[in-house]
Amino acid sequence: MTAMPTPVARNDLILQARAVSVRFGGVRALDSVDVSVRDGEILGIMGPNGSGKTTLFNAITGVERTQGGSIRFGDLELTRMAPYRIARLGVVRTFQNLRLFPNMTTTENVLCGAHMRQSASVLRALLPSPRGAAQEATERRRAIALLHEVGLADRVDAYASDLSYGQTKRLELARALNAEPRLLLLDEPAAGLNDAQAAVLLGLVRDLCRRRHLTLIVIEHNVAALVWLADRIVVLDAGRVLANAAPEVAASDPAVIEAYLGHAAVAAAS
């Protein structure tokens, strides 16, 4: 059984990635990347397409094996740990492409998040038995409470396929929260939403993080939204860290502007 990471005090480092490298053939998707996150911090990750943002998430969660460097969560090394073990530690992610079960209800989808935090003994308790029935009822109440918390109180019995796109984003967030994350990684949570919808969803994310004291790493292409949401921003370009600074500083860095818009945009802004 995997040991739990040493508890961290507020504002202490909860995740430290040092000199992380990931290669696909001759392509360096991540090239000696350093990223750290403090307990309770909201860290934004931005960069042009192909810059290594999702690869960084995959490395942290064990989906991609690294070819160099170290990723530590608390006092535990993650780089050779299986993804399910990392999830059990409380490192939970969502994906850019929704991975919901359309033919299950919203409550059933949220219940799936419980498997990330449950041991085999707890799962056995859910088998048909008086104890299992009581445990199942507790889990259903928890799932319904999370649906209320993300604004889906009136959709607890709806099938996921019947939700609007914005509602599915909230459902995915509720399912992730049911895994009781200590570190939550959101991969473009506002993708596909208009500006008004994105503002509402990211406002919900920020409120949930503050209320639950969650540490968050979020990838987001909407620069203005990320500047508003994040405490700090790391900018990746071609697999390397281009900037690591306060949101307004990172977003106004000429090197960052050039990476997004090209050299002409920097000259025009000068």
- Here the CATH number for the domain that contains residue 258 is 3.40.50.300
Tell me, rounded to whole angstroms, the distance of Cα 141 from its chain centroid.
24
Number of domains in the chain: 2
For residues 51-74, give the mean pLDDT.
Answer: 96
Q: Does pLDDT of 7 surpass 70?
A: no
Domain end (from 179, 207, 240): 179
- What DSSP string describes 52-101? SHHHHHHHHTTSS--SEEEEEETTEE-TTS-HHHHHHTTEEE--SS----
Please check whether residue 232 lies inside any domain of the structure: yes
Q: How many residues does the chain have?
A: 270
pLDDT (mean) for 57-80: 96
What pLDDT is recorded for position 76?
95
Mean pLDDT of 226-245: 96
Instruction: Examine the domain organization and report whether 51 and 69 are in the same domain.
Output: yes
First-to-last alpha carbon distance for the chain, in angstroms, is 57
CA 237, 93, 98 angle in degrees (round to 5)? 90
Last residue of a domain, one of 179, 199, 214: 179
Question: Do 60 and 108 belong to one domain?
Answer: no
Q: Are residues 137 and 117 in the same domain?
A: yes
d(CA 110, CA 243): 36
Q: Are residues 113 and 44 in the same domain?
A: no
Q: How many CB atoms lie within 10 A of CB 20?
A: 24
Whole-structure pTM value: 0.87
Banded model confidence at residue 122, pLDDT cuts 50, 70, 90: very low
Which pair of tokens denotes residue 207? 């409120």
Q: What residue numbers bound the domain in which 133 lies?
A: 102-179
Which whole number is the average pLDDT over 175-197?
93
Sign of the dihedral defined by the CA atoms of residues 185, 47, 202, 154, in that order: negative
Residue 24: partners with Cβ closer than 8 Å, 6 or more residues away: none
Contacts of 7 (CB under 8 A, 6+ apart): 74
Average pLDDT of span 190-198: 91
Q: Is 173 in the same domain as 185?
A: no
- Sheet-wide strand order for 232-237: 91-93, 183-187, 215-219, 42-46, 232-237, 240-245
| 7 lies in some domain | no
Are 188 and 168 in contact, with CB atoms under 8 Å apart? no
Reply yes or no on whether the pLDDT at 121 is more than 70: no
- For 215, list phi and psi in degrees, rounded to 5: -90, 135
126 with 251, same domain?
A: no
Is residue 6 domain-resident? no
User: What digits encode the pLDDT tens for the residues 125-170?
Assistant: 455 666 667 778 889 999 999 999 999 999 999 999 999 999 999 9
Could you tell me if 86 and 186 lie in one domain?
Answer: yes
Q: Is 220 helix (H, G, I), strand (E, B) or coil?
A: coil
Average pLDDT, the chain: 88
Say yes or no to pLDDT of 226 above 90: yes
Q: Is residue 130 assigned to a domain? A: yes
Q: Is the pLDDT of residue 98 over 90?
A: no
Domain boundary among 179, 200, 233: 179
